[in-house]
Amino acid sequence: MNESETFVQLIRRAQARDPYAADELMRRYEPAVRRAVRMRLFDARLRRVFDSMDICQSVMGNFFDRLARGQYPLETPDQLIKLLVTMAHNKLTDQVRRQQAQRRDARQVVGHDIHDDELVGPGPTPSKVVEARELLENVRRRLSVEEQRLLEMRHDGEDWADIARKLGSTPEALRKKLARALARVQQEVGLAG
């Protein structure tokens, strides 16, 4: 018995409402239907509203109902796959239209899997920005004029060798001086760990 004869027999058994034949058809062809649905669910907002399994089950249920009524004269697995993929596409399109018609636009639906930290934009909050500015000003006030200048030069991207040449010192001495000053200020403002 070749593959097409086996397929036709399986379809006939499913048409006669044989549950084992229906299970076998589901096992063989459901993955193709789910793949087709997932490929069309490229928008994350739609994926929050529709699941490929829900659409697939609806399509397969509709298929078996119509198959039992003799509506599908299928002879090859390719015909079945094309039919099921078309049905899945139509079902998904219908569901999206219905969702939008009922003013349940998926673009406005917020899924339950979104955490509060994902709702906040990247970067610090305005209060954190203000807090950081105040802390920076507090640190600068506690530095000497020479220490402030060292900090600004490093902040501007100058390397220690250039700073040492400009200030008539060694890179190591200036690096240690700034490190000690920052450690002192951290201690004074309570940031030392």
Give residue-wise pLDDT tens across range 64-77: 889 888 888 888 99
Residue 104: pLDDT above 60? no
Query: pTM of the entire structure?
Result: 0.49
Ranking 46-50, 51-55, 62-66 by mean pLDDT, the lowest is 46-50
Q: Which residue has the higher pLDDT, 147 or 113?
A: 147
Residue 147: partners with Cβ closer than 8 Å, 6 or more residues away: 177, 178, 181
Where residue 132 falls among pLDDT bands split at 50, 70, 90?
A: low
Alpha-carbon gap, residue 85 to 34, rounded angstroms: 9
Q: Which residue has the higher pLDDT, 139 or 64?
A: 64
**Per-residue model confidence (pLDDT) at position 165:** 92
CB 91 within 8 A of CB 59: yes
**Per-residue model confidence (pLDDT) at position 135:** 74
Number of H helices, E strands in the chain: 10, 0
The distance in angstroms from the start CA to the end CA of the chain is 79
**Per-residue model confidence (pLDDT) at position 47:** 65
Give the residue among 103, 74, 92, 104 at the shortest CA–CA distance from 33: 92
**Per-residue model confidence (pLDDT) at position 94:** 83
13-17, 109-113, 135-139: range with highest mean pLDDT:
13-17
Q: What is the dihedral of CA 120, 122, 127, 129, to 10 degrees?
A: 180
